[in-house]
Structure 1
Amino acid sequence: MILIVDDTPENLISLKRVLETHNFEVDTASSGEEALKKVLKNEYVLIILDVQMPGMDGFEVAEAISGYSKARETAIIFLSAANTELRFITKGYSSGGLDYITKPVDMDILLLKVKTFYRIYEQSRKLIEIQKALLDEIEFRKKAENKKDEFISIASHELKTPLTSVKGYVQLLERSIDKGDIPTVKKHLQKAQTQLDKLNELIADLLDISKIESGKLKFNKKNFRMEELLDSVIEIIHQSNPEFKILTIGSADIEIYGDEMRIEQVIINFLTNAIKYSPGTNEIRIKLHVEGNKLYLGVRDYGIGIDPKEQESVFDKFFRVEQTAIQFQGLGIGLYISAEIIRRHGGEVGVKSTPGEGSEFFFEIPLSAPAEN
């Protein structure tokens, strides 16, 4: 928008009419004081400012405007009929003006200058937008590199832990075999197997994330019964966590079209996380219901919960809740993989949580007509 400042009504009207016929948005002020009030309230691309005015003259108005951070970069064109000497023109530039036009005004020249300032303004605005986008991209890539480095460090540690444990159990096995202590051999074998299972899960997650990144995560979709899958998952979890009571609230005695193994992977991830982040508790609830053409499944724990500002990021790649990263092991990719699996089924994932009261991780997927086959 352009602001014209002139104490002569005829000048205001004529200038305003010419600029508006060339599709410029125009505002007016009949004094320096009125102009300053308008500059404080509105944003202007250009101010056309008469030098000779009662009260504050144009130079004083320009100097005042240069003191406003909001309008400091606004272009100013001075108009003057009386002060045409070089010293006045110089004063105009030193007061913050970018141009000085003497009256009577050649409208063609004024229009040319206005269009030029507008073009400069648009180019400057675009450059600022490009600069901001570049800075945002740089910041994202720095952050991404830090996340990557952190992930590599965590992954190395997480993979090394079960490997070191297996190596230790193998050494203990050798000693027990030499002694013929079969019960101890069986005990060490079982513990080694547990660590190997953990290692296998970590490697499977790493392979999955690699396939997601390359677009090669495969799905084998067909009809299956959700409640049968859920019974099987609960039995698996009970075997490794017999102290936890897992209750199913609701029902979904219906067929689902999807990859049964991948959906099982998501539910197991939700359940194992619920158990991991619920020290001192012994109950998990699975909420299940069908609404319209969608299935809702939520896993509710009564553990540590998640801070509201971190809930939006829990499904991001490599994200680990800050206050739990040291206390609880993990790569920070299980939920990311789960979210990708659900999205590839045309569904959505989410979390509802209150710190200190627990969390409910959930997903919704269509019963049929998947997004992709």
Structure 2
Amino acid sequence: TIIKRMGLLLIATVILMIFVIGCIVYQIKIIARQNKIAQLREDFSYAMIHDMKTPLSSITMCTSFLHSGRLDDKPEMKEKYFTIVENETDHLLALTNKILTLSKLENHKLEMNKKKISFEPIIEDLKEKFITKSDKPIHFTIDLKAKEVYVDEEFFKELMSNLIDNAIKYSKKSIEIKISSHYDDKYTIIKIYDNGMGISEKDQRTIFDKFERASATKRTKFGGATGFGLGLNYVYQVIEAHEGKIYVNSIEGDFTEFTLFIPKIMEEL
């Protein structure tokens, strides 16, 4: 009799309890997400400080030597120190510009100056650049059936540079990089393959996210590749700005291949 009389009240109580439990679960998820974001920011700050500290230390050391006058009678050594200062300054400027560019791309405040450009000279320039600066042997295989691509030349060159730099950074002792291109009905398709460390299935889901290196602190401390986790996010944002697509295919410990789909010029579609 009591249950019958209090039926509506009991039902209302159960519904209220379910609602309260749902709110608690939702609140726990929000707190967990906030903690994850806080950890990402902390790791990013550490990686940024670590990466900027090295070039700044080099610049400080070189300018100190140059200012002391001890290299005035050694022109070759003096020129070498000037070159180090210039290179490290360019490195810091490139990092700063990348962060600013990403911010503009995310807020859709950066317009692409797209035009049809020749693909091969860009690849050849990057090939020579990375072979010269790398302390590992690199072998490039170039197969460009698509000779031209409709892109913003400056951003496209930086995009390709990021992908090749990643291939070298996460490589084995000997590096094999294959770059190919071809057309289909709507897209210029570009593939960048390397025989490096590969990417796990779990990481493949997040590699294009901003500051994706949640383990940047740990990796840097134990001698892993340094960086902010901006490179692949930059690639993704530039491809998005070109209204294209990017996919990754990788087996951990074996290879990684990025495939870019860049729309052809509208008149050709």
TM-score between the two structures when normalised by the length of structure 1: 0.62
- Aligned counterpart in structure 2 of residue 276 of structure 1, from 164, 169, 176: 169
Q: CA 1:135–1:245 in structure 2 vs 1: closer, same or farther (change >3 Å)?
A: same
Q: Which has the higher contact order (CA 8 A, sep 6+)?
A: 2
Structure-2 separation of matches of 1:117 and 1:368: 63
Structure-2 separation of matches of 1:133 and 1:266: 39
* Structure 1, gaps ≥5 residues long: 1-88, 100-112
Structure-2 separation of matches of 1:260 and 1:130: 50
* Structure 2, gaps ≥5 residues long: none
Q: How large is the Cα RMSD of the aligned pairs?
A: 3.1
Equivalent pairs counted in the alignment come to 262
Residue 191 (str. 1) matches residue 90 (str. 2)? no
Contact 2:249 2:258 in 1 (8 A): yes
Q: CA 1:182–1:203 in structure 2 vs 1: closer, same or farther (change >3 Å)?
A: same
Corresponding residue for 1:240?
Answer: 133
Identity %: 26
Corresponding residue for 1:164?
Answer: 57
Corresponding residue for 2:213?
Answer: 320
Letter in 2 for 1:289: H
Contact 1:176 1:184 in 2 (8 A): no
Letter in 2 for 1:153: Y
1:325-345 deviation per Cα after TM superposition (whole angstroms, max 9, x unaligned): 441111111111110110111
Contact 1:297 1:364 in 2 (8 A): yes
> What secondary structure, in the 3-state scheme, does the structure 2 residue paired with 1:350 have?
strand
Q: CA 1:337–1:127 in structure 2 vs 1: closer, same or farther (change >3 Å)?
A: farther
- Aligned counterpart in structure 2 of residue 363 of structure 1, from 241, 260, 264: 260
Aligned ranges 1:9-158 → 2 under 5 Å? 89-90=1-2, 99=7, 117=11, 121=15, 132-158=25-51
Structure-1 separation of matches of 2:203 and 2:6: 49
The higher radius of gyration belongs to: 1
1:236-274 deviation per Cα after TM superposition (whole angstroms, max 9, x unaligned): 333423842221134212x43221111111100000111
Contact 2:116 2:149 in 1 (8 A): yes
Corresponding residue for 1:329?
Answer: 226
1:122-177 deviation per Cα after TM superposition (whole angstroms, max 9, x unaligned): x7766665654444333323311221232122212221220111111222334565
Letter in 2 for 1:158: D
Structure-1 separation of matches of 2:12 and 2:184: 55
Q: CA 1:167–1:265 in structure 2 vs 1: closer, same or farther (change >3 Å)?
A: same
Contact 1:176 1:185 in 2 (8 A): no
1:208-261 deviation per Cα after TM superposition (whole angstroms, max 9, x unaligned): 2332344323321222232343333323333423842221134212x4322111
